[in-house]
Chain A
Amino acid sequence: MYEIVSSVKRDYIVDLARQGKRLDERVLDQFRDVSVEVGTIKSANGSAHVKMGKTRVLVGVKLQHAEPFPDTPKSGVLIVNAELRPLASPSFELGPPRENAIELARVVDRGIRESEAIDLEKLGIKPGEDVWAVFIDIHVLDHDGNLIDASTLGAIAALLNVKPPEDETWTLQGFPVQKRPVAVTVFRINDKLMVDQCLDEESVMDARLTIATTEDGSICAMQKGGTGGFSREQIEQAYQLARAKATELRKHLR
């Protein structure tokens, strides 16, 4: 899935970057306007609607009974799926998730799972037979770049919004969210590192590195994407940037 950007626009974006500027007059380390609205979808146990500039992502959390995995009979199960619906972009097609949707879901999953944001051990019901499954479904509504950051923010916001099911097998007080991982994608155009790419920037960038951190700054997930690479120094710079921006984004969470 490659967006076609005219070479005139491409050269313009690259030249702006060289001067430390961007298309929409942001500075290099500035996010677009972010808003997080929770609880709008009553059919879900928890939901969040994230806007990052013109990008819009809706995340719903559903809790259901499920069989546990054989090697973890007392643990709940976490399943993250992402749908890039055609209404969100002319480049999205109908059909089962392809590599971009799969990567998006798996990166968000890692951010939530590896940080242990949810204590899955608390979600067992009857060991070996019945546990709670937490389904996090990412529904992209409008694609103007940086779906990973918007989706991860939506996922953790939706989890924080979860009202437990009216079910006698629910024995916990509320829904146990113990960490707030936030993903920040740092992208590179030549030697400049920036955050929160809009769609045009995404089509022009050399490479991107998503770093998810928790409140204490420790890294729980990373994913490099794009057709270019990063130097060692750029990775360390990207971490500093990601950590600082994650702290800012975390303020949008309850």
Chain B
Amino acid sequence: MEKPEKLIVDGKRLDGRKPDELRPLKIEVGVLKQADGSAYVELGANKVLAAVYGPREMHPRHNQQPDAAVLRCRYNMAPFSVDDRKRPGPDRRSTEISKVTREAFEPVMFLELYPRSVIDVFIEVLEADSGTRTAGINAAAVALADAGVPMKDLVSAVAVGKVDDTIVIDLTKEEDQCGTTDMPVALVPRKKLITLLQMDGNFAEEELKQALDLAFRGCEQIYAMQRQALREKYAVKEE
């Protein structure tokens, strides 16, 4: 892939956004009939579906925990979701993302309420354009709420990074590949608690601070949209 010379020209990114602008975000609640809760998210060109089953009985039995539910997250990419077809089945990246996604939600769950059970969260990426794990977390949070799983708060996530020495939010695939740094962040907005933080690339201390500022603002915006989507589904309509 040919690297464009500049990713930011006259303060505008390749897709016309400002450095602190999110891509268009769409959230639909309760899209699947079989799952206890579900959500569909479009973030720019990303299309992600999340489904929650549970709390339900945990099989295999030997993985049960006597005093709490087990939270099980599975992130998976459909073979056609990326340019070079991805062979079906978990790969190392999906396994890592599943782990950090689970750890992003654990702080808000009340797992002790459901001993010996499992809460299954399935995230399927249907179309990918960088930011799938954050889109997945945003979808999963809404799906968990849709399933009626009690939580202390939603979890909102966004990726920040550095392209052409500018700190930007919500990177596209091109910005991720050609830029210097990528840092996905997940936040519990009411507690301002960071529950997912990964970074690869290069940040000086000052850049890290700017990036965290930007991530917080982005997560607050996403949080508002998640709540709005849930309100629209569940609000009692005036006749």
In whole angstroms, what is the CA distance A99 to B194 when docked? 21
**Contact yes or no, B200 A231, CB < 8 A:** no
Q: Which of B1, B103, B192 contacts A224 (CB 8 A)?
A: B103
Complex formed: what's the CA distance from A222 to B203 in Å?
Answer: 10
Contact across chains for A230 and B103 when beta carbons are under 8 A apart: no
A220 in contact with B96 (CB, 8 Å): no
With a cutoff of 8 Å between Cβ atoms, the chain A residues found around residue B199 in the complex are 219, 221-223
Does A224 contact B200, Cβ atoms closer than 8 Å? no
The 10 listed contacts between A and B (C-beta, < 8 Å) are A102-B96, A106-B96, A209-B197, A218-B202, A218-B204, A223-B198, A224-B103, A224-B196, A229-B107, A229-B195
Interface of A is mostly: mixed
Residues B201 and A235 in contact, CB atoms below 8 Å apart? no
Chain B contributes a number of interface residues (CB within 8 A of A) equal to 32
The answer to whether A235 and B193 have CB atoms under 8 Å apart is: no
Q: How far does the alpha carbon of A99 sit from the alpha carbon of B103 in the complex, in Å?
A: 12
Q: Which parts of B166-220 form the interface with A (CB within 8 Å)?
A: 183, 188, 191-205, 208-209, 212, 216
Of listed A97, A113, A229, A235, residue having the most chain B CB within 10 A: A229
Tell me the count of chain A residues lying within 8 A, CB to CB, of chain B.
32
Among A106, A209, A225, point to the contact of B92 (Cβ < 8 A).
A106
| Interchain CB contact under 8 A, B195 and A224 | yes
Known: A106-B92, A218-B203, A228-B106. 13 other contacts (CB 8 A): A71-B1, A99-B96, A102-B95, A103-B99, A105-B92, A219-B199, A221-B200, A225-B100, A226-B103, A229-B188, A230-B197, A231-B194, A235-B197
B205: chain A residues at CB < 8 Å are 217, 219, 239
Chain A residue contacts of B107, Cβ below 8 A:
227-229
**B201 contacts which chain A residues (CB < 8 A)?**
114, 220
What residue of chain A has the Cβ atom nearest to residue B201's Cβ? A114
The verdict on A32 contacting chain B, using a C-beta distance below 8 Å, is no
A114-B95 in contact given A219-B208, A229-B193, A231-B192 (Cβ < 8 Å): no
Is A110 engaged at the interface, CB distance under 8 Å to the other chain?
yes
Q: Which residue of B lies closest to A98 (CB)?
A: B95
Tell me, yes or no, whether B138 is within 8 Å of chain A by CB: no
Q: Inside 8 A of A230's CB, which chain B residues have their CB?
A: 193-194, 197
Q: Is the CB of B202 within 8 A of A114?
A: yes
User: Complex: how many Å from CA A221 to CA B205?
Assistant: 13
Whole-angstrom CA separation of A227 from B110 in the bound complex: 12
Instruction: Assess whether A236 is interfacial by the CB under 8 Å rule.
Output: yes
Cβ contact of B194, chosen from A218, A219, A225, A229, cutoff 8 A: A229
Bound: A110/B181 CA distance, A: 12
Q: Name the distance in Å between B61's Cβ and chain A's nearest Cβ.
A: 17
Determine the chain B residues whose CB is within 8 A of the CB of A225 once the complex forms.
100, 103
A103-B197 in contact given A114-B202, A219-B203, A235-B212 (Cβ < 8 Å) = no
Q: Name the distance in Å between B96's Cβ and chain A's nearest Cβ.
A: 5
Residues in A whose Cβ lies below 8 Å from that of B198: 222-224
Contact status of A224 and B197, CB under 8 A, knowing A99-B99, A232-B216: yes
Q: Report the nearest B residue to A100, measured CB to CB.
A: B99
**Contact across chains for A224 and B194 when beta carbons are under 8 A apart:** yes
Question: Given the complex, which residues of B lie within 8 Å of A71, measured CB to CB?
Answer: 1
Question: How many angstroms from the CA of A231 to the CA of B203 in the assembled complex?
Answer: 19
A115 CA / B180 CA spacing, docked (Å): 11
Q: With a CB–CB cut-off of 8 A, which chain A residues contact B193?
A: 229-231
Q: Are A239 and B208 in contact (CB under 8 A)?
A: yes
Does B46 sit at the interface, judged by CB under 8 A? no
Given the contacts A229-B195, A231-B192, A231-B194, A224 and B209 also touching, CB distance less than 8 Å: no
B193 to A, closest residue via Cβ: A229
Contact of B202 among A97, A106, A220, A226 (CB under 8 A): A220
Kindly state the separation between the CA atoms of A99 and B96 in the bound complex, as whole angstroms: 6
